[in-house]
């Protein structure tokens, strides 16, 4: 559970912005999506390799 202390004189909008940033950095949504279904370790490793290959090809295109 995330706790945001609103400081004296701080607007609600600013506190909400801090909450959203903290929520995004914690990665709650990412964890929920990952836990939604089980993927075998071999499939997960294959996906990592394919992603790395794709990133490498993209880097080669842009000349990095």
Q: 32: how many CB neighbours lie within 10 A of its CB?
A: 9
Domain boundaries, the chain: 12-62
CB 15 within 8 A of CB 4: yes
Report CA-CA distances (Å) from 40 to 29, 44, 56.
Answer: 21, 6, 24
pLDDT tens-place string over residues 53-64: 999 999 998 876
Global pTM? 0.48
Residues in the chain: 64
The encoded tokens of residue 43 equal 């499939």
pLDDT-based confidence at residue 2 (cuts at 50, 70, 90) = confident
Highest mean pLDDT among 3-7, 10-14, 28-32: 10-14
The encoded tokens of residue 1 equal 């559970």
Q: Which of 4, 24, 26, 1 is nearest to 15 (CA)?
A: 4
């Amino acid at each position: 559970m995330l706790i945001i202390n609103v400081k004296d004189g701080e607007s609600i909008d600013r506190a909400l912005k801090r909450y959203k940033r903290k929520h995004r950095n914690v990665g709650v949504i990412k964890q929920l999506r990952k836990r939604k279904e089980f993927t075998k370790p071999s499939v997960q490793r294959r996906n990592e390799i394919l992603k790395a290959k794709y990133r490498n090809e993209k880097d080669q295109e842009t000349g990095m």
